[in-house]
Chain A
Amino acid sequence: MANVSEVFRDYAESIEAEHEVREKVRDKLRVIETLARESSAMLQHVHQPSGFAKIADITAQAERHLVDQIRPALAELSSSVPASQFYRYYAMFNYTLMRLCHLCSLIHFLKEGQLLTRAATAQDWLQIGQSRADGFYLEVDDYLGGLIQTSNELARFAVNCVTNQDFERPVQICEFLSTLLAGFRLLNLKNDNLRKKFDSLKYDMKKVEEVVYDLSIRGLTKSPPTGALEDKGTSPNPSQGTPNAEGDDGPVKPQDG
């Protein structure tokens, strides 16, 4: 059966070609992964008391790292993926893209206190396309996934802010997250990954609301947050707030003394 072996030879060739591309993509991806991890590690310092004082420095450093190192690496990755076959290899790099989106939006929030749009993430920060016509581009799913990672990070950051005597930032984070949550509520999510992540956003919201509640009940916030206070009355009750109060003991005492 000559023709059977012909068919399989043809397939073997194509699989070989695909494998080569995959190897290439994997290599580039490894570089980006390493850089992204470095960047995350840099940003971790904002949670620590030593780093908290110089958030601006840390974000500037992380941003520089992103622009100088990650961006060129990403450009290499995008050139190794055939433009018309973005989705063929998409599963390989979508988590990395998500992570990069997360880094961008986190840095942006720490700097400006605002949400980074998808257009800005793609164009200004990562310098990749926004739609299929651009070849290598940022999918909405990845962008949204990145935002949720940011919200997880911010929920933790809100607690650490209080530990580091910053009582304003949790309120800001709370407002930010509630807008984000309102935005995500507009999406008709399927029962997929994004949906699961979205659930984690709700828990982040709750956590930050509790922090703000603890702060406001002790009169530590200068001006009560407008939107957040209304939401807050519904979900956490004082008994829920108590575990967090332990963390707040620190900031309360110095005020007394």
Chain B
Amino acid sequence: MASVEAIGKPNDSGSGGLAQKSGKSMDPCESGTEQTNRGRGNTWRCPDPGCKRENQKSDQACTQCSLPSQSAQQFKKGHRGGRNNRGSRGGRGGGGGGGHYSKFHSREPKTLPKGVDPNNPIIQQFQEHARILDEKNDKYERIVKLSRDITVESKRVIFLLHRITCEDDKPAVLGEAEIKLGDIRKRLWYYVASELVNEDPYKFLRAYTGGLQEYVEALSFYHYICYDELISWEKVQEELHFQRNAHRPKDEVKDPLDPKAAQARETIPTKEQTEDEDAGDSVSVAIQEEAHPEPKSDSSGGNTNLKGSTAKKSLQVLVPKTDFVLGLADLTGEVMRQAINFIGLGNTQACFDLMEFLHAMHDGFLDVGYRHDMRREMSRKINVLNHSLQKVENACYSINVRGSEFPSKTHLADLLLNSRESHVADPTGPMGDETDGPTDCDPYL
């Protein structure tokens, strides 16, 4: 027994041990080294999804697919840093690009040229200047991008509004226009406003003045068609006053309002990419709030610019009155176009109404325009206004002249309408009115 045991033991331990040993040395040992190596960072994994081989750090290329280790590292970096973000933010137009832009800059290490002492106080000072300038330029560019988008979208709204040919078109078209204008506010102005938090809006005014004027033009045109009156500055300013939603997580609310501009710049893009819908919701809530007729005492307070820093949760895009009036000057062009359209459609009365409106606008500009400190833009626009007015006046003149020549024109329209109405109204009943609707105002189509 004992001997057997004794024999068995060493034997067992000998062979088994050997076997175990060899076994260990075959796989667990390897996996052990692999683990420890990985823990220490001595290996790198091939990023090729079809390969994924662990390689020694000393290897210059993957032992399986011979991918150079350097390119593998680059791949890793790109994967961690920009690429993901860019992918997730792709859907969101201009602002997203802006966010990426800033990221690109912050990630780029500042390399000093040869022979420059990094410890030199002057150089350090200039690095600080460079940071400030870059920050400003980046922000400016981001706002310019947004402004360009706003211009394009506002133009679309204007074209949409020109498609109104008669009263019956109005509800549908105006509804669509309102949605589009709301979209512009939520999707574009909101981001402009968050860029302007804790900034002097006049500093970046030149970046967004183009978009603003176009937007005022679209909004006032919409407002004019809706309510038959000129929009007031207070209304425009109030529309561009946003409130952040209070029930969002605290850090989300806080970060962009952080007084540290650099931090705010970093956090706004991340918020955009992760909480895009959330942000949209919060704005829509703000807009709903604004839709209530309760006037906001602080927003109507005029040109106070430090709003972002004083009022904790409200953002706004400042609308300087001059830019507002420049937008109104553009409006006159649209009104002129609409008047001419109406003549084409035979709606001559509308044309006279529009002329009256243009006269009022003209008087307004005469009163205000030729004053001191007038921008060159303004005088140019007043010139355009004069031309528009003349065009409409001539049109109205020829309506009257021709109208007297051919009295049958309107009569004919009336006759046509009446005959058709009586013709259709009988069999279809209430439907008759609707089918007649479009023809009601363009009998010549």
Contact = CB atoms under 8 A, between A and B. Distances in A.
Interface of A: 1, 3-8, 10-12, 14-15, 18-19, 22, 84-88, 90, 115, 117-118, 132, 140-141, 143-144, 179-180, 182-190, 227
A140 B129 contact: yes
Given A1-B230, A14-B321, A179-B122, A188 B373 contact: no
A182 B201 CA distance: 33
Nearest to A144: B129
A15 B132 contact: no
User: Chain A interface mostly helix, strand, loop or mixed?
Assistant: helix
Contact of B130 (A18, A84, A186): A186
Given A7-B230, A7-B364, A84-B304, A118 B125 contact: yes
Contacts of A19: 371-373
Contact of A4 (B110, B230, B372): B230
B34 to A, nearest CB: 46
Contacts of A8: 325, 363-365, 367-368
Nearest to B304: A84
B58 interface: no
Contacts of B357: 1, 4
A4 B364 contact: yes
Nearest to B234: A10
Interface in B285-320: 303-306
A108 B98 CA distance: 41
Contacts, number: 122
Interface centre among B134, B325, B328 (most CB of A within 10 A): B325
Contact of A180 (B122, B325, B367): B122
Contact of B134 (A6, A14, A188): A188
A3 B126 CA distance: 54
B226 to A, nearest CB: 13
Given A4-B230, A5-B364, A179 B120 contact: yes
Given A4-B361, A87-B202, A118-B129, A183 B303 contact: no
User: Chain B interface mostly helix, strand, loop or mixed?
Assistant: helix
Contact of A188 (B123, B137, B324): B137
**Size category, B interface:** 35 or more
B113 interface: yes
A182 B123 contact: yes
B112 interface: yes
Pairs A-B, 10 closest by C-beta atoms: A183-B126, A8-B364, A87-B202, A1-B360, A4-B360, A87-B203, A87-B200, A88-B202, A84-B305, A14-B321
A189 B136 CA distance: 11
Given A19-B373, A85-B305, A187 B122 contact: no
Given A3-B229, A4-B364, A12-B371, 17 more contacts: A1-B360, A7-B232, A8-B325, A10-B233, A11-B321, A19-B371, A19-B373, A84-B200, A84-B304, A87-B201, A115-B122, A182-B116, A182-B126, A183-B125, A186-B129, A187-B129, A187-B130
Interface in B191-213: 198-203, 205
Given A3-B230, A187-B133, A15 B322 contact: yes
Contacts of A90: 202-203
A84 B306 contact: yes
B350 to A, nearest CB: 15
A108 to B, nearest CB: 13
Given A86-B200, A132-B200, A15 B368 contact: yes
Contact of A182 (B113, B134, B322): B113
B414 interface: no
Given A14-B321, A19-B372, A117 B364 contact: no
A11 B113 contact: no
Contacts of B368: 8, 11-12, 15
Interface string B337-371: 00000000000000000001100110111011001
Contacts of B203: 87, 90
Contacts of B129: 118, 140, 143-144, 183, 186-187
A211 B357 CA distance: 71
A113 to B, nearest CB: 13
29 contacts: A1-B230, A1-B357, A1-B360, A4-B357, A4-B361, A8-B365, A8-B368, A10-B232, A10-B233, A11-B321, A11-B368, A12-B371, A14-B303, A15-B373, A18-B373, A19-B373, A84-B305, A85-B305, A90-B203, A117-B125, A118-B129, A144-B129, A180-B122, A182-B122, A183-B122, A183-B123, A183-B126, A183-B129, A184-B126
Given A15-B373, A132-B199, A186-B110, A140 B132 contact: yes
